[in-house]
A and B are shown apart, each in its own frame.
Chain A
Amino acid sequence: MAEENTNRYGEFGGQYVPETLMAALDQLNIAFAAAKKDPSFYAEFHRLLNDYANRPSLLYYAKRMTEDLGGAKIYLKREDLNHTGAHKINNVIGQVLLARRLGKTRLIAETGAGQHGVATATIAALFGMKCEVFMGKEDTERQKLNVYRMELLGTKVNAVTSGQGLLKDAVNAALQDWAAHPDDTFYVIGSAMGPAPYPAMVHEFQSVISKEAKAQIMDAEGKLPDAVVACVGGGSNAIGSFAEFIDDPQVGLYGVEAAGEGVGTGHTAATLETGTPGIFHGMKSVFMQNAEGQIAKVYSISAGLDYPGVGPEHAALDASGRAHYVGITDDESVAAFEYIAKMEGIIAAIESCHAVAYVQKLAPTMRKDQVIICTLSGRGDKDVAQVADYRGIDINE
């Protein structure tokens, strides 16, 4: 009987990596397939999610936002309340359990805003594993707090100076490190991207977000939501937020990309609005690139969203029209950062505030009996200094 080809999402996906890494991917494919059929794997995964990472996360009814916007009821899926302050830990726990099954002793990870790096450093500490994180030089400066958090956790942070010194360059460096140490090292990819089986693994481990949200909204409202909104860089919290609703066509799925200074300005990270199909970072997907296939520079205020590509499943959901992808600018996300702080008493990550800003536009266009779930992928402590700076306020010293 033919196995379903889980390497592909329509034309997207695949395994476009150097041969040196293929044996490790083959090994990972086998371990992931075995884990998916193994109740003991899931027992340990959920034990750690619940006992260590503070799941299930709340689905919180944002009453003041709802009343203020005057349309659909808004629920916030509070991934910001997880241990380490973001959704990233869900996937890291899953992948590191696989790494242990494979007998790997060293973890590496890329990070943009630092949230995935912190989550990986945390689980490395928990399991007593060696860990190195690759982070673009520019990002280490934008997110100094997270760099120090990782170091406190015993992880070595490598500032990557090649390219723009951003997330893309951190992925390049992590792939190169992995190719040099494929035997003892496990590359914990933080986003729904990279070569198969990574996009499928990240989907699987982050789908806990929408599994919980679906049950929680049925309890609260007795029906499915009308819209699910999440921010998209590579797309891990979005795919986790969408996963359980993809087969419910009445649920609108909205992925919110970072438009930077605006989709048409050339200073943007809105991949699905401005990109074209290509092959990079192990996958066929959509990338911001020139006509010859050279990967483009990206810009966003958010270090977690300024990636010139997007996970292959998102590229496929966009191509099929099942999900809608929209851009939110720096200005709009900073305004949303301030808005949700004042309205709901929540300081949310600047990444998540891209989703909040879109909810501010979407909710008023919907009826009061309709429901939106917006994923708050992370908390915003790390962004306070940068937002102050954006407003021309120096809070240092």
Chain B
Amino acid sequence: MSKLKDVFTDHKAFIPFVTAGDPTAADTVAEVVALAENGADIVELGVPFSDPIADGPVIQAAGLRAFAGGITVDGVFKIVQEIREHTQVPLVFLTYANIPFKYGYEAFCARCEELGVNGLVIPDLPAEEAGEILPFTKTHQLDLIPLVSPTSGPRLAKLVTHATGFVYIVSALGVTGQREGFAQNLDDLIADLRQVTDAPLCVGFGVHTPAQAKELAQVADGVIVGSAIVELAAESDDAPKAVGEYTKSMVAAIAEA
């Protein structure tokens, strides 16, 4: 049974993202604990990659800060270990294909299972290539979260064939980062997806205000926020407090939907 899917049984989810090790491992642990305590349903943890082509300037900068702080893949696993001493909030890794590939798909997935990571989002591993990691995610109880974009069109059914956990809907073209508007066909995209999957549908890319979260939660099952939280944490003197309060406001807005 998918621990991620269970989240959605009785409410819409708020899914914040932070980059692991930005700017230090201790900061990440404190922020994830604050996110969980303030109502985050799932936390996405970015495993930094040198060339994050799906990410906009805010998350790119977070990765650079994490590298400056000496983050490594094993360092990220250590962060997970420490998080698990404080909270059992479901965790999803967001990283690029080369990271698990070099670690070894099997070893990477096994380590995720061992430490209590529940899913993987890999933006540069589309449906056509996902087959190379799927046997290992299945064996190790990890949900491989498929991404769907406004351009997916006739590809939708193919994309969700193996969907467990949830489906990540990219709300806009381009890279991650704050936006004022979303793809015009988002409602249609969600309706089309409901025809081909019963997996929960979460929307990310560009979401930053409670009003946007509320609007999206009216059609989707969950809202994913990355850049806004990363930026808030970077600009705050007390990042855990700031991201905690932000989370509280987003969770409340989603509950109103």
CB-based contact B152/A292 at 8 Å = no
Specify which chain B residues have a CB less than 8 angstroms from the CB of A181 in the assembled complex: 173
Q: A176-B175, A181-B173, A292-B103 are in contact. Are A18 and B98 (CB under 8 A)?
A: no
B147 in the interface (beta carbon within 8 A): yes
Contacts of B128 in A (CB 8 A): 7, 14-15, 22
- Bound-complex Cα distance A172 to B57 (A): 12
- Asked whether, in the complex, the Cβ of A168 is within 8 Å of the Cβ of B51, the reply is yes
Q: Is the CB of B126 within 8 A of A19?
A: yes
The answer to the question of A180 belonging to the interface, with a C-beta cut-off of 8 Å to chain B, is yes
Given A280-B51, A293-B49, are A20 and B124 also a contact pair (CB < 8 Å)?
no
**What is the distance, in angstroms, from A148's C-beta to the closest C-beta of chain B?**
28
Q: Is the CB of A293 within 8 A of B103?
A: yes
B174 touches A176 (CB 8 A): yes
Q: Does B9 contact A (CB under 8 A)?
A: no
Judge whether A16 and B159 touch: CB under 8 Å: no
Residues of A within 8 A of B152 (CB): 19, 22-23
Contact A26 to B155, CB < 8 A, known contacts A20-B149, A292-B103: yes
B10 at the interface (CB under 8 A from A): no
Closest to A294 in B: B50
Instruction: Give chain A residues whose Cβ lies under 8 Å from the Cβ of B101.
Output: 277-279, 284, 293
Distance A232 CA – B8 CA, assembled complex (angstroms): 51
Known: A16-B124, A279-B101. Contact between A24 and B174, CB under 8 A? no
Query: With A and B bound together, what is the CA distance between A168 and B103 in angstroms?
Result: 23
Interface residues on A, range: 35 or more
Given A176-B174, A289-B98, A292-B72, answer yes or no on A19-B53 (Cβ-Cβ < 8 Å): no
For the residues of A in contact with B, the DSSP-based class is: mixed
Residues of A within 8 A of B129 (CB): 14-16
A22 touches B155 (CB 8 A): yes
Please name the residue on chain B nearest to A287 by beta carbon. Answer: B98
B190-222 interface bits toward A, Cβ cutoff 8 Å, 1 = contact, 0 = none? 000000000000000000000000000000000
Residues of B within 8 A of A284 (CB): 101
CB distance from A97 to the nearest CB of B (A): 23
Question: What is the distance, in angstroms, from B213's C-beta to the closest C-beta of chain A?
Answer: 22
Specify the chain B residue showing the minimal Cβ separation from A176. B175
Determine if B126 and A295 form an interchain contact, defined as CB atoms under 8 angstroms apart: no
Q: Mark B53-80, 1 if CB is under 8 A from A, else 0.
A: 1100000100000010000110000000
A15 and B51: CB pair below 8 A?
Answer: no
Q: Fill in one digit per residue for A5-35: 1 if any B CB lies within 8 Å of its CB, else 0.
A: 0010000001111111111101000000000
Interchain CB contact under 8 A, A18 and B51: no
A172-B53 contact given A22-B128, A162-B60, CB 8 Å threshold = yes
Q: How large is the interface on B (under 10, 10 to 19, 20 to 34, 35 or more residues)?
A: 35 or more
A176 to B153, CA, bound (A): 20
| Complex CA distance for A292 and B100, rounded to whole angstroms | 9
Q: Closest Cβ of chain A: how far from B28's Cβ, in Å?
A: 18
Q: Most A CB atoms within 10 A — which of B67, B146, B147, B174? A: B174
A350 close to chain B: CB less than 8 A: no
**Complex partner residue of B124 from A18, A176, A292, CB under 8 angstroms:** A18
- Contact status A17-B51, CB under 8 Å: no
B151 at the interface (CB under 8 A from A): yes
* Inter-subunit contact B147/A292 (CB<8 Å): no
A252-290 interface bits toward B, Cβ cutoff 8 Å, 1 = contact, 0 = none: 000000000000000000000000111111101001010
Query: CA separation between A287 and B99, bound complex, in Å?
Result: 13
Distance between B153 CB and nearest chain A CB, rounded to angstroms = 6
A179 touches B153 (CB 8 A): no
> Does B170 sit within 8 A of A, measured CB to CB?
yes
Specify which chain A residues have a CB less than 8 angstroms from the CB of B147 in the assembled complex. 18-19
A163-B51, A280-B51 are known contacts. Are A15 and B98 too (CB-CB below 8 A)?
no
**With an 8 A cutoff between CB atoms, is A395 at the interface?**
no
Contact A293 B155 (CB under 8 A): no
Give Cα A26 to B158, complex, Å: 13
Is A175 interfacial (CB-CB < 8 Å)?
yes
Answer whether residue A1 sits at the interface, using C-beta atoms and an 8 A cutoff.
no
Asked if A126 lies at the interface with its beta carbon under 8 angstroms from chain B, I say: no
Measured between beta carbons, the chain A residues less than 8 angstroms from B149 are 18-20, 23
- Is A292 within 8 A of B99, CB to CB? yes
Nearest 6 pairs of A and B residues by beta carbon: A293-B102, A180-B174, A293-B98, A20-B149, A294-B50, A279-B97
Give 26 A-B contacts (CB < 8 Å), ordered by A residue: A17-B126, A18-B149, A19-B123, A19-B147, A19-B148, A19-B151, A20-B149, A20-B170, A20-B174, A22-B128, A22-B155, A23-B149, A23-B152, A23-B155, A26-B155, A162-B60, A179-B53, A181-B173, A182-B151, A276-B102, A279-B124, A280-B98, A282-B124, A292-B99, A293-B99, A295-B50
